[in-house]
Chain A
């Protein structure tokens, strides 16, 4: 299998699998139990917390484990909005957020909040100016993703955080960092809340984390036994968390090498893809890992099946939004016939030049043999 869909999910690394297996085989306890088995499990969770915190350069007690990036986004947005309800009812975000953010904010709109969606420029990025000028004295929360999951566009979250905190210190700043984690080094100094997912960094699915800056108050929405400092009740997913910790540790160690590798692969891919007749890259200011290309006249769905038959995996836009017209590309003002033919290529350090060659060959074959499917 040739896998170019690392933004959808990654293959678990050996260290993550070994850590999970070790927990399942040797540490069967519930971390809340008082006996030795329970204490061992609590230690495993704490070790994972330290590993994730170190990878982010924050304190371990600022990490709240969740069941994934979506849940982390929900806890951050709902938790902050409800905690600050008395101070105001306005939220600022971008037009290109992941559905985990957009849909959660849409639900909050039904509960009486008003939401401003800041549009992106043609380069797929929002400007810090645009975000900051949307902030009013009723604003309680700003949420801007670090890297767009569909286009790879990089948002100026550091600058937004710094300037926001200088002018409106009471407004909380959340960033969905699922796509930037262990790819970009973004300091969390001026960020109050940040969401992460384990399976995008070679960990397991169903597991993630929310960074909650010390002193930030949130209203929990999963209540119960009071685990995770009362912010996310429910018995901890110990084996997945152990895998998360192991993956974060390895990812932090190899970050520079992986990044250099991916930059080289991206450069190679761009050169080779330019030989595919009719192919147009989407130009954005972004990370090297994720990029979108268009093959006008061919429907992405049909292209994906054509490639899948040749054992090549990639996505049309976000893997989470199959069948729907990408709201992100629509928000960027891309014409409908381009969006219909969009392919998202997301690279991993394990990819090879030979695989990119095969992708280009397959795309050339598609152009040669497929019938134009959108008219």
Chain B
């Protein structure tokens, strides 16, 4: 008895002429991700993707986790398969489903047949399989109206599938079908969630992290790489690190203290935009939420946006910290985010940051800063990090 996964498309099924593009994106993303786990046969028919482990000793739990994190999939189930024969189906139902059904107060069988040549109608098949289960264990109870669990029997093109229960998929659109954007990734809770949310709408992510050695630690950089590696389940990820110490020191020495954080943000936006436009990115993504900290006031956001031409996506802008934290927990980044390494040394944080800056004051504050030169240097010194196995937790 070999297990396989059935994945059902979400929104992709609604697309018109573009559908095949979406489908092929989905399939290649799935193949790419499962390759890290083992050998799987992957095929699709009738808005369903079939994932079948080739080797019995593969890590099916991890494979299922990968499938459940794949955007573009609305629901998924773990199933077993047999030939399209009523007798074989009933035998398999007893073998596979009986132990599952026994832990529920009641059950029902629901049958679907897309192959109309099958000798029984759907209601007949339900009754037959249900009867066989009841005779195998007379203590089972049937409840058609409110079953404790529903056992699905699907007679499809290549065989019959039995599965109990359906899991919610990740939803959204297949990875990469929306293009590529740059995610400003700190070590905090918010930015990985922002990346997740935009990946859900089909964006590939180029993560950009700003590091200030020796004021920030190598562990802090490793933590960010770990976060990026977790996001790699959800999106196609690329990771860049930008050494930013010199820029921060220059800001500290040449700009008014109350504007330090905002000018730092402006420099990050400028640098990120310059860095990623040659790498196919068409937008920036940040984890800001309105009013969360001094630099995230409406005035603060205006001042940091005004330096770049790319659109800036802020999927968390209207969310509370508790809502953001709940998503971080769900997607598995929370535990890593709260590791206690400083991402931006406190030395550079002003005591009394300005909360209502305006563009004019920001420009005045930057008057002595060699902006172009600093951005140029940061872009030149940025380096690519390969998200190898060592970052997988």
Contacts and interface: CB of A to CB of B under 8 A. Distances in A.
A221 interface: no
A305 B217 CA distance: 7
A301 B340 contact: no
A373 B218 contact: no
B215 interface: yes
Given A371-B347, A373-B345, A373-B347, A305 B214 contact: yes
Given A302-B345, A323-B340, A371 B249 contact: yes
Nearest to B217: A305
A306 interface: yes
Interface string B208-240: 000001110110000000000000000000000
Contacts of B345: 302, 373
B249 A309 contact: no
Nearest to B249: A371
A157 B230 CA distance: 52
Nearest to A375: B347
B214 A309 contact: yes
B215 A302 contact: yes
- Chain B interface size, under 10 / 10 to 19 / 20 to 34 / 35 or more: 10 to 19
Q: Which of B218, B346, B347 has the most CB of A within 10 A?
A: B347
A305 B213 contact: yes
A371 B218 contact: no
A373 B213 contact: no
A323 B217 CA distance: 12
Grouping DSSP codes into helix (H, G, I), strand (E, B) and loop, the A interface class, with mixed when no group exceeds half, is helix
A309 B213 CA distance: 9
Interface in A292-347: 301-303, 305-306, 308-309, 323
B252 interface: yes
Contacts, number: 25
Nearest to A373: B347
B252 A301 contact: no
Given A371-B347, A373-B345, A373-B347, A306 B249 contact: no
A46 B215 CA distance: 50
Nearest to A369: B249
Contacts of A301: 217
Interface string B319-362: 00000000000000000000010000111000000000000000
Interface in B270-307: none
Nearest to A366: B214
Contacts of A309: 213-214
Contacts of A323: 340
Nearest to A371: B347
Given A323-B340, A371-B249, A371-B252, A306 B214 contact: yes
A371 B249 CA distance: 8
Nearest to A303: B214
A123 B340 CA distance: 33
21 contacts: A301-B217, A302-B214, A302-B215, A303-B214, A305-B213, A305-B214, A305-B217, A305-B218, A308-B214, A309-B213, A309-B214, A323-B340, A370-B214, A371-B249, A371-B252, A371-B347, A372-B347, A373-B215, A373-B345, A373-B346, A373-B347
For the complex of A and B, 8 pairs with smallest distance between CB atoms: A305-B214, A306-B214, A373-B347, A302-B214, A302-B215, A371-B347, A305-B217, A309-B214
Given A302-B345, A305-B214, A305-B217, 12 more contacts: A301-B217, A302-B214, A302-B215, A303-B214, A305-B213, A305-B215, A306-B214, A309-B214, A323-B340, A371-B215, A372-B347, A373-B346
